């Protein structure tokens, strides 16, 4: 069972009212990110957008880096929840084209998560967020491993874990390139990603 992704906050809100205020602040931060870019994510700008005092925001998010880290943590959590849902679906029945299903679904997330694209394609990622991204990719790779096992396509060993991480890293790089070229995802690049990953999946399945 993977550990959940949590936002790196100065302190965690306990009361429902405080949790709602923080959620409103992060939604405001995302609006600023999408409209104005990473550099606009100052505590003053985000507090104004959220209609809260800077002091109130500072209780949880003391600076731009903390805001970026918290937004990234939210995106990671949503992606990992989607992967968990796919593991459950794979356990319930067979898929004719696992690669096609996964690439299409995650491309759909890229299309709708404008904040995620704005953050990843910008230049303001923090060292903490980069480290969190590496851990996130390992959890996503474990999701692929669990899907392959649920579908009966692989034997569980250290090599499988390594192969799944390589697949995730490759898929992520190709997805980023597809969405850098076209906001809706370059169809040609996404199709080539499917061809490449299907071949890799066939090789993994054929190891015996």
Does residue 58 sit in the same domain as residue 75? Answer: no
Residue-level pLDDT at 18: 74
Helix (H) or strand (E) holding 104: helix 98-112
Query: Is residue 206 scored above 90 in pLDDT?
Result: no
Residue-level pLDDT at 2: 44
Does residue 136 sit in the same domain as residue 38? Answer: no
pLDDT confidence bin for 6, thresholds 50/70/90: very low
For 8-31, what is the mean pLDDT?
80
Q: Which three-class secondary structure state does DSSP give residue 82? A: helix
pTM of the predicted structure, to 2 decimals: 0.86
Q: Name the burial class of residue 124, with classes exposed (0-12), middle (13-18) and buried (19+) by CB atoms within 10 angstroms of its CB.
A: middle
CA atoms of 21 and 50, how far apart (whole Å) = 9
Question: 26: which 2 tokens?
Answer: 């992060």
pLDDT in tens, 110-137: 999 999 988 888 777 899 999 999 999 9
Higher pLDDT, 194 or 202: 194
Which residues are CB-contacts of 122 (< 8 A; sequence separation ≥ 6)? Answer: 37, 38
Does residue 89 sit in the same domain as residue 174? Answer: yes
Residue-level pLDDT at 9: 62
Residue-level pLDDT at 1: 37
pLDDT confidence bin for 14, thresholds 50/70/90: low
- List, as one string, the DSSP characters of 133-190: HHHHHHHHHHHHHHHHHHTT-S--SHHHHHHHHHHHHHHHHHHHHHHHH-TT--HHHH
How many alpha carbons fall within 13 Å on the CB side of residue 2? 22
Does residue 107 sit in the same domain as residue 36? Answer: no
- pLDDT more than 90, % of the chain: 68
For 95-109, what is the mean pLDDT?
91
Does residue 88 sit in the same domain as residue 185? Answer: yes
Q: CATH number for the domain including 29? A: 1.10.10.60
CA atoms of 167 and 163, how far apart (whole Å) = 6
- List, as one string, the DSSP characters of 13-75: --SHHHHHHHHHHHHHHHHHHHHH-GGG--HHHHHHHHTS-HHHHHTT--SHHHHHHHHHHHH
Residue-level pLDDT at 4: 40
Query: Is residue 174 scored above 80 in pLDDT?
Result: yes
By residue range, what is the domain housing residue 166?
A: 71-205
pLDDT confidence bin for 3, thresholds 50/70/90: very low
Query: Is residue 8 scored above 70 in pLDDT?
Result: no
CA atoms of 203 and 153, how far apart (whole Å) = 10
Does residue 17 sit in the same domain as residue 98? Answer: no
For 172-183, what is the mean pLDDT?
93
Q: CATH number for the domain including 125? A: 1.10.357.10
For 183-194, what is the mean pLDDT?
96
pLDDT confidence bin for 5, thresholds 50/70/90: very low
């Amino acid at each position: 069972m993977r550990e959940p992704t949590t936002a790196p906050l100065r302190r965690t809100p306990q009361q429902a009212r405080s949790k709602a205020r923080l959620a409103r602040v992060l939604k405001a931060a995302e609006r600023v990110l999408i409209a104005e870019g990473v550099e606009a994510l100052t505590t003053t700008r985000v507090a104004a957008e959220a209609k809260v005092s800077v002091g109130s925001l500072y209780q949880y998010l003391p600076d731009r880096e903390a805001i970026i880290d918290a937004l990234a943590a939210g995106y990671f959590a949503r992606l990992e929840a989607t992967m968990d849902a796919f593991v459950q679906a794979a356990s319930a029945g067979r898929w004719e084209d696992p690669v096609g299903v996964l690439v299409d679904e995650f491309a759909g997330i890229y299309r709708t998560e404008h904040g995620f694209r704005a953050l990843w394609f910008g230049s303001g990622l923090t060292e903490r967020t980069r480290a969190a991204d590496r851990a996130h990719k390992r959890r996503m790779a474990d999701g692929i491993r669990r899907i392959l096992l649920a579908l009966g396509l692989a034997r569980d060993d250290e090599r499988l874990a390594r192969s799944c991480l390589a697949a995730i890293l490759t898929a992520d790089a190709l997805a980023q390139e597809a969405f850098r070229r076209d906001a809706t995802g370059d169809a040609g690049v996404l199709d080539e990603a499917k061809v490449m990953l299907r071949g890799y999946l066939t090789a993994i399945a054929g190891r015996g």
